């Protein structure tokens, strides 16, 4: 912890222990995306005096402090309970927190920062297509080479768990914090476990991903710390933030469909729900109905409605869908109250 | 876990154990608490990392708190003027493993003795006697023999690929039939066409073909495996997917062999019958087995109360012969209080110029009474 961080923490502790601290990535695309994510939910992050200030607020919300930190720092602080909410990659959460379920709750994937943590071997290994092949090669490697396979990675724990699950034990991890994909060509490792978005860098380094070698499909997540001090005010601030996020998310992922049908039977409604996940929002005596449906089912639902006698079906985007019962907060509150 | 649980409480048991070791002619050898982590990860597998208390002093490589004694004692022995000579060493003190904290362990290592059967029996006998001195409850014993398993597999003459698959499965605790199930043919392009071409040429030709294939595709060979090695395994796998696999007769023999269990003498008789009926030459390995049993009995140990199990020796990469475990009879659920075995190949991998006979045992003194955690 730097002196500045320490000072920040002490000040925060002494001034107001019961406030919600939201940790947000401090630079790059991750920060832009995180700002955009909160902004969509109507939560405007305001950084202090300059870009170098590591603290901020959320406009219009009392008892909330924003802390701008690196993504891996955010993960550690969530685990230690030094911040309540954080935006960080699931890859880092799974790698750096040993008992994920006890310490944090992954509240929602945020749709950005997508990347896969994968096992990649040299393309020349045409005999190795999946983890079972790799296990077989690992099993015979020491007898042939006098050493175990070497795996370059910064995902030490993730690799260990995944390899153990595939019963691979005779290998060594070569820790690598940068340019991991170059390790096999450089001769410092035989294969790698690394994060990749398109796989292009792997191909450029003559590596291929094993068929079942995707360890984790990661993306940025909104993560809550279960170890943080959850006072009354922090909980209330969390509830407000999550209800706005949930309202935006539901609006973004659903569409409202309006149409008029000759006859609206219960059977038809049940079918709409079963086939398309569509729920009835409103229905009038004159046969006009409003459905809420997943955005990706709109076209097929519209076709189906037309087949059932609708003349026109209109679909609209919504800004927010606020609900009295908020799934995100409900889940977190349950965890905080001991499940 | 509260901090108090990290520390062992009662030193009397370990002191009694060590007194007995020294009285039996073993010399104390106490390696340092701080050890280079790499050597443990190399020999015990990367998975062991999760059990280590890791640290670093800013120099090269990671350090850890001593997680076990055998490897450090081996390294001390190899660095000593006695390296390669017979040596009988004893140790006792704290070991550190994540999840268990600090626990006390005492043990023995015997190096360089060519009379392996006698050395095996001595280690077992001295360890059991020391445990008794330290107030152990009644202990139950299970024996195995990694050397016998290896000889059996050698005589069975499985194709190398099947042998490897079997050993991997066996280490995982899979039954022979599961370990020997042919892999599913993978529908993945590269296989079939290449295989058809390869079937027409001999091994050397196949290797050349694969090398050509890789160079035409512009794939450079990286990552520590030669194209010859890749070609060899590629062919091998293709034959696994294609072939009839291991014959029903050999599979039945494997099943029968690993089901053998009983007192050492009755197990030996069963093993001889199996070997005879299958015409497998296990004579040397079984003679050694019986010689060891005689030495164990000669120490006054009740051979008939021990259980030999052919499937007990699982870690064929580490152990090379006799293996055993003992645990408090009233706590069959507990981890073993004593574990040991012969590991003739380890010292070479730690820097010895050739294999040096080695057998040892470790005692978790806190588990002896059967009333601890």
pLDDT reported for residue A144: 85
Using the predicted structure, report yes or no on whether residue B7 has a pLDDT greater than 70.
Answer: no
Which of B191, B290, B206, B278 is closest to B241 using CA atoms? B191
pLDDT reported for residue B242: 60
Same domain, B16 and B126: yes
Window from A59-68, B229-238, B257-266 with minimum mean pLDDT: B229-238
Residue B253 domain flag? no
B326 vs B46 pLDDT, higher one? B326
- Pairwise CA distance, residues A222 & A108, whole Å: 5
Q: Which of A156, A191, A217 is the last residue of a domain?
A: A217
Same domain, B5 and B119: yes
Same domain, A79 and A224: yes
Given an 8 Å threshold on Cβ–Cβ distance, is A189 in contact with B223? yes
Residue B148 domain flag? no
Using the predicted structure, report yes or no on whether residue A10 has a pLDDT greater than 80.
Answer: no
Using the predicted structure, report yes or no on whether residue B3 has a pLDDT greater than 60.
Answer: no
- 3-state secondary structure at position A325: coil
Same domain, A192 and A223: no
Residue B162 domain flag? no
| Mean confidence (pLDDT) of chain A | 89
Given an 8 Å threshold on Cβ–Cβ distance, is A125 in contact with B223? yes
pLDDT band for position B244 (cuts 50, 70, 90): low
Q: Kindly give the pairing relationship between strand A288-294 and strand A254-260.
A: antiparallel
pLDDT reported for residue A14: 44
Do A196 and A118 contact (CB within 8 A), yes or no? yes
Using the predicted structure, report yes or no on whether residue B373 has a pLDDT greater than 50.
Answer: no
Same domain, A258 and A206: no
Q: Please calculate the CA angle A144-A150-A152 and round it to the nearest 5 degrees.
A: 160
Smallest Cβ distance to B223: which of A132, A159, A184? A184
Q: Which chain B residue is nearest to residue A163, measuring alpha carbons?
A: B47
Same domain, B15 and B75: yes
- Pairwise CA distance, residues B240 & B180, whole Å: 10
Q: Which chain B residue is nearest to residue A185, measuring alpha carbons?
A: B222
pLDDT reported for residue A300: 94
User: How many domains would you assign to chain B?
Assistant: 2
The string of pLDDT tens digits covering residues A159-191 is 999 998 888 888 999 988 788 999 998 889 999
Residues of A in contact with B213 (CB under 8 A): 126
pLDDT band for position B131 (cuts 50, 70, 90): very high
Same domain, A152 and A21: no
Same domain, B105 and B218: no
For an interface test with B, give the residue of A99, A140, A174 to mutate (most B CBs within 10 A): A140
Residues of A in contact with B167 (CB under 8 A): 139
The string of pLDDT tens digits covering residues B13-34 is 899 999 999 999 999 999 999 9
Gap from B219 CA to chain A (nearest CA, Å): 6
pLDDT reported for residue A136: 87
The CATH number covering residue A42 comes to 3.40.190.10
Same domain, A101 and A225: yes
User: How many domains would you assign to chain A?
Assistant: 3
Phi/psi at A293 (nearest 5 deg)? -140, 155
Same domain, A95 and A122: no
pLDDT reported for residue B330: 85
- Pairwise CA distance, residues B345 & B355, whole Å: 5
Same domain, B209 and B92: no
pLDDT band for position A316 (cuts 50, 70, 90): very high
Residue A87 domain flag? yes
- Pairwise CA distance, residues B348 & B116, whole Å: 17
Residue A312 domain flag? yes
pLDDT band for position B100 (cuts 50, 70, 90): confident
Q: Which chain A residue is nearest to residue B211, measuring alpha carbons?
A: A124
Same domain, B122 and B19: yes
Given an 8 Å threshold on Cβ–Cβ distance, is B46 in contact with A160? yes
CA–CA distances in Å: residue A75 to residues A2, A87, A116: 16, 8, 18
The string of pLDDT tens digits covering residues A41-60 is 999 998 877 666 688 999 98
Same domain, A107 and A121: no
Angle between helices B160-171 and A131-145 (to 10 degrees): 110
Q: Which of A106-115, B72-81, B174-183 holds the top average pLDDT?
A: B72-81
**% of chain B with per-residue pLDDT over 70:** 88
Q: Is the ipTM of this complex over 0.90?
A: no
A224-248 burial, b for 16+ CB within 10 Å, e for fewer? bbbebebeebbbebbbbbbbbbbbb
Residue A269 domain flag? yes
pLDDT reported for residue A5: 57
Distance of CA A216 to the CA centre of its chain: 11
CA–CA distances in Å: residue B99 to residues A104, B46, B105: 21, 17, 16
pLDDT reported for residue B1: 44
Same domain, B3 and B101: yes
Residue B99 domain flag? yes
Residue B208 domain flag? yes
Same domain, B41 and B104: yes
Same domain, A122 and A150: yes
Same domain, A81 and A142: no
pLDDT reported for residue B40: 92
Using the predicted structure, report yes or no on whether residue B48 has a pLDDT greater than 90.
Answer: no
Residue B260 domain flag? no
Same domain, B197 and B84: no
Q: Which residue range forms the structural domain that includes residue A80?
A: 3-113+219-229
Helix (H) or strand (E) holding A280: strand A279-283
The string of pLDDT tens digits covering residues A125-157 is 888 989 988 988 988 888 888 888 999 999 999
Q: What is the 3-state secondary structure (H, E, C) of chain B?
A: CCHHHHCCCCCHHHHHHHHHHHHCCCEECCCCCEEEHHHHHHHHCHHHHHHCCEECCCCCCCEEECCCCHHHHHHHHHHCCCCCCCEEEEEEEEEEECCCEEEEEEEEEEECCCCHHHHHHHHHHHHHHHHHHCCCCCEEEEEEEHHHHHHHHHHHCCCHHHHHHHHHHHHCCCCHHHHCCCCCCCCCCHHHHHHHHHCCCCHHHHHHHHHHHHHHCCCCCCCCCCHHHHHHHHHHHHHHHHCCCCCHHHHHHHHHHHHCEECHHHHHHHHHHHHHHHCCCCHHHHHHHHHHHHHHHHCCCCHHHCEEECCCCCCCCCCCCEEEEEEECCCCCCCCCEEEEECCCHHHHCCCCCCCCEEEEEEEHHHCCCCCC
The string of pLDDT tens digits covering residues A224-275 is 999 999 999 999 999 999 999 999 888 988 999 999 988 888 899 999 999 9
pLDDT reported for residue A177: 78
The CATH number covering residue B102 comes to 3.30.930.10
Average pLDDT of the segment spanning A3-31: 71
pLDDT reported for residue B274: 95
Using the predicted structure, report yes or no on whether residue B8 has a pLDDT greater than 70.
Answer: no
Same domain, B195 and B134: no
Smallest Cβ distance to A167: which of B46, B172, B214? B172
Q: Which of B208, B242, B276 is the last residue of a domain?
A: B242
Q: What secondary structure letter does DSSP report for A59?
A: T
pLDDT reported for residue B363: 95
Same domain, B133 and B194: no
Average pLDDT of the segment spanning A301-324: 92
Residue A21 domain flag? yes
Q: Kindly give the pairing relationship between strand B27-28 and strand B87-97.
A: parallel
B99 touches chain A (CB under 8 A): no
Strand pairing partners for B106? Answer: B92, B363
Residue B306 domain flag? no
pLDDT reported for residue A28: 85
Q: Which of B172, B207, B242 is the last residue of a domain?
A: B242
Alpha-carbon dihedral B149, B152, B157, B158, rounded to 10 degrees: -40
Gap from B327 CA to chain A (nearest CA, Å): 26
Gap from B221 CA to chain A (nearest CA, Å): 6
Residue A202 domain flag? yes
Residue B68 domain flag? yes
pLDDT reported for residue A9: 53
For an interface test with B, give the residue of A170, A172, A176, A210 to mutate (most B CBs within 10 A): A170
Residue A174 domain flag? yes
pTM of this structure: 0.76
Average pLDDT of the segment spanning B334-362: 93
Distance of CA B173 to the CA centre of its chain: 13
Cβ-count burial of B230 within 10 angstroms (0-12 exposed, 13-18 middle, 19+ buried)? buried
Smallest Cβ distance to A206: which of B220, B234, B237? B220
For an interface test with A, give the residue of B217, B223, B232 to mutate (most A CBs within 10 A): B223
Smallest Cβ distance to B46: which of A129, A137, A172? A172
B185 touches chain A (CB under 8 A): no
Looking at chain B from residue 26 to 55, which residues have their Cβ under 8 Å from any Cβ of chain A?
A: 38, 41-42, 45-47, 49-50
Do A121 and A56 contact (CB within 8 A), yes or no? no
Q: Which residue range forms the structural domain that includes residue B222?
A: 190-242
Same domain, A72 and A210: no
The string of pLDDT tens digits covering residues B151-204 is 999 999 888 888 888 888 888 788 888 888 776 655 554 556 666 676 677 777
Same domain, B132 and B197: no
Which of A254, A222, A239, A230 is closest to A325 using CA atoms? A239
Residue A303 domain flag? yes
Residue A324 domain flag? no
Same domain, A57 and A159: no
pLDDT reported for residue A22: 96
| Mean confidence (pLDDT) of chain B | 86
Same domain, A177 and A309: no
Gap from B214 CA to chain A (nearest CA, Å): 7
């Amino acid at each position: 912890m730097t002196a500045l961080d320490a000072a920040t923490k002490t000040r925060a502790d002494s001034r107001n222990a019961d406030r919600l601290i939201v940790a947000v990535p401090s630079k790059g695309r991750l920060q832009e995306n995180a700002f955009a994510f909160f902004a969509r939910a109507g939560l405007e992050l305001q950084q202090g005096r300059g870009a170098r200030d590591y603290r901020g607020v959320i406009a219009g919300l009392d008892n909330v402090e924003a802390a701008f930190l690196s993504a891996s720092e955010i993960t550690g602080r969530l685990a230690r309970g030094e911040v309540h909410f954080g935006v960080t990659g699931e890859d880092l959460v799974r790698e750096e927190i040993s008992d994920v379920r006890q310490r944090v709750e992954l509240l929602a994937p945020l749709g950005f920062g997508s990347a896969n943590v994968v096992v990649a071997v040299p393309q020349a290994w045409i005999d190795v297509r999946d983890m079972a092949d790799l296990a077989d090669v690992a099993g015979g490697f020491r007898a042939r080479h006098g050493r175990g396979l070497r795996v370059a990675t910064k995902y030490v724990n993730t690799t260990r768990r995944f390899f153990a699950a595939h019963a691979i034990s005779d290998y060594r991890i070569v820790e690598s914090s940068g340019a991991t994909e170059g390790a096999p060509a450089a001769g410092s490792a035989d294969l790698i476990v690394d994060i990749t978005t398109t796989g292009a860098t792997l191909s450029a380094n003559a590596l291929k991903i094993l068929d079942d070698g995707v360890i984790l499909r990661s993306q940025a997540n909104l993560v809550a710390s279960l170890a943080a001090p959850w006072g009354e005010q922090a909980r209330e601030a969390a509830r407000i933030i999550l209800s706005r996020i949930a309202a935006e998310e539901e609006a973004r992922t659903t569409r409202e469909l309006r149409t008029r049908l000759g006859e609206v039977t219960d059977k038809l409604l049940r079918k709409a729900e079963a086939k398309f996940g569509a729920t009835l929002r409103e229905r009038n005596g004159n046969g006009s109905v409003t459905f809420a449906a997943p955005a990706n089912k709109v076209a097929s639902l519209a076709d189906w409605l037309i087949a059932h006698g609708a003349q026109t079906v209109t679909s609209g985007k919504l800004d927010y869908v606020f609900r009295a019962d908020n799934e995100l907060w409900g889940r977190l509150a349950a965890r905080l109250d001991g499940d | 876990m509260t901090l108090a649980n990290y520390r062992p409480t009662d030193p009397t048991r370990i002191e009694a154990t060590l007194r007995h070791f020294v009285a039996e002619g073993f010399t104390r050898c106490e390696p340092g608490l701080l050890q280079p982590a790499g050597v443990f990860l190399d020999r015990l597998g990367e998975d062991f990392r999760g059990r280590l208390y890791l640290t670093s002093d800013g120099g090269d490589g990671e350090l850890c708190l001593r997680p076990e004694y055998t490897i450090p004692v081996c390294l001390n022995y190899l660095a000593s003027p006695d390296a390669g000579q017979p040596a009988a060493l004893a140790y006792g003190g704290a070991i550190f493993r994540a999840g268990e904290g600090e626990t006390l362990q005492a043990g023995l290592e015997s190096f360089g003795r060519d009379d392996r059967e006698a050395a095996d029996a001595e280690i077992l006998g001295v360890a059991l006697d020391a445990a008794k001195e330290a107030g152990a409850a009644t202990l139950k014993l299970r024996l195995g023999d990694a050397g016998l398993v290896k000889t059996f597999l050698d005589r069975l003459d499985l194709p190398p690929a099947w042998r490897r698959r079997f050993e991997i499965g066996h280490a995982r605790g899979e039954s022979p039939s599961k370990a020997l199930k042919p892999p599913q043919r993978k529908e993945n392009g590269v296989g079939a066409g290449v295989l058809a071409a390869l079937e027409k040429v001999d091994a050397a030709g196949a290797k050349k073909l694969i090398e050509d294939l890789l160079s035409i595709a512009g794939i450079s060979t990286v990552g520590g495996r030669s194209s010859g090695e890749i070609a060899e395994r590629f062919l091998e796998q293709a034959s696994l997917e294609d072939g009839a696999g291991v014959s029903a007769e050999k599979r039945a023999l494997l099943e029968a062999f690993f089901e053998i269990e009983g007192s050492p003498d009755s197990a030996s008789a069963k093993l001889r019958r199996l070997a005879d009926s299958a015409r497998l030459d296990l004579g040397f390995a079984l003679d050694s087995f019986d010689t060891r049993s005689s030495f164990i009995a000669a120490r006054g140990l009740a051979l008939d109360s021990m259980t030999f199990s052919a499937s007990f020796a699982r870690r064929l990469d580490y152990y090379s012969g006799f293996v055993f475990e003992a645990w408090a009879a009233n706590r069959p659920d507990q981890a073993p209080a004593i574990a040991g075995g012969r590991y003739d190949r380890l010292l070479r991998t730690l820097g010895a110029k050739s294999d040096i006979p080695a057998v040892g045992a470790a005692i978790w003194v806190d588990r002896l009474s059967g009333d601890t955690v």
